[in-house]
Amino acid sequence: MSAEKHSPLAQFEIKQLIPMRIGDFDASFTNSSLLMVLTVLSVSAFLILGMRKNAHIPGRWQSVVELSFVFIANLMKDTVGSEGRAYFPFIFTIFMFVLFGNLLGMMPYSFTFTSHIVVTFVMALFVFIGCTIIALIKHKMHFFTFFMPPGVPMYMAPLLIPIEIISYLSRPISLSVRLFANMLAGHTLLKVFAGFIMALGVAGIAPFVFVVALTGLEFVIAFLQAYVFAILTCLYLNDALHLH
Amino acid sequence: MVNNGQDQNKSSQQDNFTEEKQDLAEISRKLEQATAEREAPSKLAAKIKQPPSNALGLAMRVSVEVLSAVAVGFAIGWVLDDWLGTRPWLMLVFLLIGGAAGILNVYRLALTLGGGEQNDETEGKSEINRDN
C-alpha cells in the first residue's frame, strides 16, 4: 500500500511485456503495443463479423457497422466534398483506431495509448506529411501560394510568410496535443477522485457519485475526441485538395 | 359450398395483395424521405460550424492553438540559433512570430465558428480585404 502504487499517473506507465532489442534500439512489446494490437483486432472483428451476413435488411450489429460507415462518409462529404472519396479508407481507419483505442482504455486495468503524446503525435505527423504530399502532387509549385494570402501587399510578405508557415507547422502539434491532453486529463481526474473515495470513509459517497458521472462523461469524450481528430484531418485534407 | 369457399379465398388473397402493395408504397415513400434527409448536407455542416456547447472544450481548443504555434516558433528559432550561432536573438524573434501565428490560428478558428450563419466565410474575406 505504498503511496507510489496509488499515484493517479501510475496508469500511464509503460511496461515491457516481451523485451526485444534491435541493435541499440529498444523495440520491446509493451502494454501500449498490446492495446494497439487489441484495438486493431477488435475493430477488424467489429467490422468483418458485423458484415458477415451482408443482409439487405441489417440486423442490430450490421446497422451499427453501417452507421459508423455512413457517419464518416457524410462527414467527409460535408468537409472535403466528392474529391475526398479516395481518402475515405484512411479517415475511416484513423477514426475507428482512435475511437476503439479510447473506448478500450476506459476498461478497468486497461491502458489508454491515446494518452501518450508519442502515439498521437506520430498519427498527426502522418496526417500532416500525407496532406502536404497530396497538396504538392496536386498543385505542384502553386502549393506555396498557400503561405501568401491573396490581396496582401508585397511589403508585408517578409512578415506574413513566416507567420503562415509557423501556423501551418503548428497543425500536427495542435492536432496531437488536443487528443492526448483530453485523454490524459480525463483519466487522471478519474483516478484522483477515485482515490478520495476510500480516504473519506462514509463521506466518500460524494466523490463516488462524482466518479460515476465522470465515467459517463469520459465515454462521451472518448467518442468526441475521435470525431474531432477525424474532422480536423478532413479539414487539413480539404486545404490540401483545394488550397484556399 | 366448395365454390363459395374458393371465392372467399380468392378475394382474401386479393385483399392481401392490395394491402401488400400499399405497404410497399408506404415503405418506398418512407425510404425516399429517409434518403432525402440523409442527402441534405446542411445538418452536419451546420453542427460543425456551431460553437461547442461546453465552454471548457472551446477554451481548450483556443489555448492549444496558441500554445502550439508559440512552441513551433520557439523550436524554429532555437534550431536556427544553433545553426547560425546567434544564441538568444532568433529565438526571441521567432517566439514573437509564433505568437502572431497563434493569434492567426485563433482568428481562423473563430471564423469557422461564426455563430452558425451561412455567409460567415465571405464576411471573413471581406474583412481581410477591408484591412488592406
User: Measured between CB atoms, which of B44, B101, B132 is closest to A166?
Assistant: B101
Check CB contact under 8 Å for A166 and B45.
Answer: no
Same domain, B63 and B107: yes
Please report the pLDDT score of residue B45 as a whole number: 53
Whether the predicted pLDDT of B124 surpasses 50: no
Please report the pLDDT score of residue B47 as a whole number: 53
First and final C-alpha spacing in chain A: 58
Share of chain B above pLDDT 90, in %: 31
Residue with cell 547560425: B84
Residue with cell 482512435: A98
Scanning chain A, the segments in alpha helix (DSSP H) are 31-50, 60-79, 88-105, 117-139, 157-169, 171-199, 205-242
How many distinct structural domains can be found in chain B? Answer: 2
Same domain, B66 and B102: yes
Judge whether B112 lies within some domain.
yes
d(CA A105, CA A219): 10
* B40/A178: higher pLDDT: A178
Same domain, B2 and B28: yes
d(CA B7, CA A177): 76
B72 contacts in chain A (CB < 8 Å) = 166, 169-170, 173
Residue range B69-81: mean pLDDT, rounded: 94
Domain span at residue B30?
1-40
Domain span at residue A48?
4-242
Please report the pLDDT score of residue A35 as a whole number: 95
Please report the pLDDT score of residue A170 as a whole number: 94
Residue range B57-85: mean pLDDT, rounded: 91
What is the average pLDDT score of chain B?
A: 73
A16–chain B Cβ distance below 8 A for any pair: no
Check CB contact under 8 Å for A174 and B64.
Answer: yes
Judge whether B45 lies within some domain.
no
Same domain, B54 and B72: yes
Same domain, B80 and B124: yes
Judge whether B8 lies within some domain.
yes
Residue B18 exposed, middle or buried by CB count within 10 Å (0-12, 13-18, 19+): exposed
* Whether ipTM exceeds 0.85: no
Give the chain B residue nearest A165 (alpha carbons): B101
pLDDT in tens, chain A (244 residues): 444 456 888 888 888 898 888 888 888 899 999 999 999 999 999 999 998 888 888 889 999 999 999 999 988 988 888 888 899 999 999 999 999 999 999 998 899 999 999 999 999 999 999 999 999 999 888 888 888 878 888 888 888 999 999 999 999 999 999 999 999 999 999 999 988 888 888 888 999 999 999 999 999 999 989 999 999 999 899 989 988 6
Check CB contact under 8 Å for B105 and A151.
Answer: no
Same domain, B67 and B93: yes
User: Measured between CB atoms, which of A153, A169, A178 is closest to B72?
Assistant: A169
d(CA A19, CA B107): 48
Please report the pLDDT score of residue B38 as a whole number: 61
Residue range B46-71: mean pLDDT, rounded: 76
Judge whether B9 lies within some domain.
yes
Contact of A199 with A139, CB cutoff 8 Å = no
Judge whether B108 lies within some domain.
yes
Residue of A224, A214, A152, A149 lying closest to A186 (CA atoms): A214
Between A91-95, B25-29, B103-107, the lowest mean confidence (pLDDT) is in B25-29
Whether the predicted pLDDT of B20 surpasses 60: yes
Give the chain A residue nearest B128 (alpha carbons): A151
Same domain, B34 and B65: no
Same domain, B74 and B116: yes
Q: How close is the nearest chain B Cα to the Cα of A89, in Å?
A: 20
Whether the predicted pLDDT of B31 surpasses 90: no
Please, which residues 30-69 of chain A have a Cβ atom closer than 8 Å to chain B?
none
How many distinct structural domains can be found in chain A? Answer: 1
Angle at A184 between CA A65 and CA A188, to 5 degrees: 115
Q: How close is the nearest chain B Cα to the Cα of A121, in Å?
A: 12
d(CA A170, CA B61): 13
B73 contacts in chain A (CB < 8 Å) = 166
Contact of B99 with A167, CB cutoff 8 Å = no
3-state secondary structure of B83: helix
A173 contacts in chain B (CB < 8 Å) = 68, 71-72
A157–chain B Cβ distance below 8 A for any pair: no
Scanning chain B, the segments in alpha helix (DSSP H) are 2-39, 42-49, 55-84, 87-113, 120-131
Same domain, B104 and B61: yes
Which residue type does A49 have? Answer: L
Per-residue confidence band for B52, with pLDDT thresholds at 50, 70 and 90: low
B72, B76, B106, B113: best to mutate for the A interface, most A CBs within 10 A: B72
A181–chain B Cβ distance below 8 A for any pair: yes
Same domain, B26 and B58: no
Whether the predicted pLDDT of B46 surpasses 70: no
- Cβ of A76: how many Cβ atoms within 10 Å? 24
Size of chain A in residues: 244
Check CB contact under 8 Å for B72 and A182.
Answer: no
